[in-house]
Amino acid sequence: MHRIIRAGELEPSPGGTITFEGEPYGSGVSFFLVNNRPGAGPDLHRHPYAETWIVRSGRGRFTADGEEIEAGPGDIVVVGPETPHLFKNVGDERLDVVCIHASPRMIQEDLAGS
């Protein structure tokens, strides 16, 4: 079985992020293709599986379990299951990040109000 998802088939959010959930396509992974403006990014949350970020362009500040790490083009950041995390675009240009979820569907618990 195979499937090609052509550019434009997955509609970006108003903020520019494309979401791919693997389950309908028989894939064991899901991901976000993030294209955030300066200052933007998700608030504190966690997943029951690991998440891996690949920074393609821009600069991001990643906070995982209270520790802040700045990452730029070519850097890879990984957080384990159940680790509270967030990231924000800290640069002057858009932040292009691939956020890989080790799950066929996205499962997220928002912690911003906690």
pTM for the predicted model, two decimal places: 0.91
Structure tokens at 71: 């990452």
Residue 12 lies in a domain: no
Residue 9 lies in a domain: no
Number of domains in the chain: 1
Q: How do residues 6-16 score in pLDDT, each as one tens digit?
A: 999 999 998 88
Q: How do residues 66-93 score in pLDDT, each as one tens digit?
A: 899 999 999 999 999 999 999 999 999 9
Residue 56 lies in a domain: yes
Question: In whole numbers, what is the pLDDT of the chain averaged over residues?
Answer: 94
Residue 35's CATH number: 2.60.120.10
Residue 112 lies in a domain: no
Which residues 6+ apart lie within 8 Å of 95 measured at CB? 34, 35, 36, 38, 40, 41, 55, 57, 58, 59, 60, 89
Q: What is the pLDDT of residue 16?
A: 87
Residue 32 lies in a domain: yes
Q: What is the pLDDT of residue 56?
A: 98
